[in-house]
Amino acid sequence: MSTKQAGAPSSHSAQDARGTIAQRDLVVDLIRTACVVLVVVVHVTMVGVASDASGIRVTSPLQELPWYVAATWVGQVMPLFFVVGGFASAVGWRSTVARAGSTGDPARDYVATRLVRLFRPAVPLFVVLAVGLGLATALGTPADLLDELAFGIGSPLWFLAAYGITQCCVPFMARLHARAPWRTLLVLLLLAAAVDAVRLGTGVAEVGLLNLGPVWLFAQQLGFLWADGWFARRSRLLLLGTAAVAYAALVPLTSVGLWAPDMLQDLNPPMLPLAFLAVGQACLVQVVHAPLTRLMATRPAQAVVFLLGRDGMTIYLWHLPLFILLNGVGLLVGLPFPEPGSGTWWATRALAVVVLLAAALGVARLVRRADRPLPRLVPGSDRPSWVVLAVGAVCTIGPAFAVMQLHLSFPLALVGAVAIPVGTWLLTRTVPAVGVRTM
């Protein structure tokens, strides 16, 4: 891929970019969908609601299981999600560069397109949250209860901030990957370790927020390698050995008291163990890539992935608000709630997941207009200036970042309901391309 991205690329560099575009890999769609579904499963099994004479109780049956911590080494799929996102980002970036001959700056085009695609589905959610939390506050809902509900509802929104940041970095990171892929990975790993060292040494937890860059960008760069075909060219023995080393490295890392062995605790802010987890997961996915490819050649698998994958972001954003709402409705109408953690409770988890996914798909149908992608640039046009893009990025990423740090509240939901639509509107604007010839 050519590293000359300013202005219109030459026909030769455009051909080179086209030549490096990875073929669509249905396994990527499968993994992305599976990650979303697994997040739903984890939350459904982590939150137990019971109602008895003493009132309403909320427990976490999953975390009470003796094998829970070990399971997080498998069930913590966010590193893999960013690896898969890196694959999609590499393909999307190279495609943007390849068609940039008659339009403006491909970097601005890419950033605007990806941020709009990421944050448009969040607009209806923030509007509903602002209205709902505002009404609950006005009706005198106890502050402690409202804070607890808002905390649960807003907990997945960190992903919007983290993924938005990595998407803004794709054009720059793609250049670094083209020039020095291994040096880039090493520097990111060292930066992640340095941030954790400062955080642990000073005791200032906020320092860890800096690792939203190195940790997730490291996972994204692994996705770039995947798009290059690097993992596919490695032997199964080497991949298994690399995965074993990555997981083995987690043992001392999480045994010295600096990082938690619970990979969910190492998530916000992201910490160094997640980078090693990303390596292991990326290698293991390639080990089973062939059977997964055969699976995705079947119509049932394609149908399920298409059904859930099309609205994956909406499912992710809405599943916790809907889960809380469905539990609330069940309590109001007097449905029997089995004791959390009991055999009956665990037996009903599959049904709970199906009902929740169905409800999320229903909401996705209602808000699908907000999920439409940004149209491609027409010849002779360009995205707005970097200044406008920066303002748009702050307006979209900012509210999600604030929720991640301060937790969801009515004021933050209101800010998001206003700022995110403004940001996406700024990002959708186009201007005439400068110095670009059109036929």
pLDDT of residue 103: 67
pLDDT band at 389 (very low <50, low <70, confident <90, very high): very high
Average pLDDT over residues 160-172: 97
List C-alpha distances in Å: 333 to 57, 344, 352, 356.
17, 20, 17, 18
How many Å from the N-terminal Cα to the C-terminal Cα in the chain? 25
Please report the DSSP string for 352-399 in residue order: HHHHHHHHHHHHHHHTGGGGPPPPPPPTTEEPPPHHHHHHHHHHHHHH
Average pLDDT over residues 292-318: 93
Task: Please indicate, yes or no, if residue 316 is contained in any of the structural domains.
Answer: yes
Task: Please indicate, yes or no, if residue 24 is contained in any of the structural domains.
Answer: yes
How many C-beta atoms lie closer than 10 Å to residue 55's C-beta? Answer: 7
Average pLDDT over residues 396-411: 95
pTM (2 d.p.): 0.89
Element (H, E) at 46: helix 26-46
182-237 pLDDT per residue, tens: 999 999 999 999 999 999 999 898 999 999 999 999 999 999 999 999 999 999 99
Closest CA to 413 of 125, 67, 95: 125
79-94 pLDDT per residue, tens: 999 999 999 999 999 9
The owner of tokens 């996914």 is 357
Task: Please indicate, yes or no, if residue 353 is contained in any of the structural domains.
Answer: yes
pLDDT band at 436 (very low <50, low <70, confident <90, very high): low
List C-alpha distances in Å: 269 to 158, 274, 385.
10, 11, 31
Structure tokens, 288: 């089973």
All residues at 6 or more sequence positions from 64 whose CB lies less than 8 Å from its CB, including other chains: 341
329-385 pLDDT per residue, tens: 988 888 888 889 999 999 999 999 999 999 999 999 998 877 777 888 877 788 889
Q: Is 58 helix (H, G, I), strand (E, B) or coil?
A: strand
Domain encompassing residue 186: 11-432
Residue 14 has pLDDT above 70, yes or no: no
pLDDT band at 393 (very low <50, low <70, confident <90, very high): very high
In b/e form, how buried is each residue of 75-113, taking b as 16+ CB within 10 angstroms? Answer: bbbbbbbbbbbbbbbbbbbbbbbbbbbbbbbbbbbbbbb
Task: Please indicate, yes or no, if residue 438 is contained in any of the structural domains.
Answer: no
Task: Please indicate, yes or no, if residue 115 is contained in any of the structural domains.
Answer: yes
Task: Please indicate, yes or no, if residue 5 is contained in any of the structural domains.
Answer: no
Q: How many domains would you assign to the chain?
A: 1
pLDDT of residue 28: 93
Task: Please indicate, yes or no, if residue 104 is contained in any of the structural domains.
Answer: yes
236-271 pLDDT per residue, tens: 999 999 999 999 999 999 998 889 999 999 998 999
pLDDT of residue 59: 84
Closest CA to 114 of 171, 154, 157: 171
Residue 9 has pLDDT above 50, yes or no: no
pLDDT of residue 168: 97
Task: Please indicate, yes or no, if residue 439 is contained in any of the structural domains.
Answer: no
Q: Of 431 and 126, which is predicted with more confidence?
A: 126
Name, of 57-66, 140-149, 301-310, the range with top average pLDDT.
Answer: 301-310
Residue 1 has pLDDT above 50, yes or no: no
pLDDT of residue 18: 37
The owner of tokens 């094998």 is 67
CA atoms within 13 A on the CB side of 27: 21
Q: What are phi and psi of 431, to 5 degrees?
A: -135, 160
Residue 10 has pLDDT above 80, yes or no: no
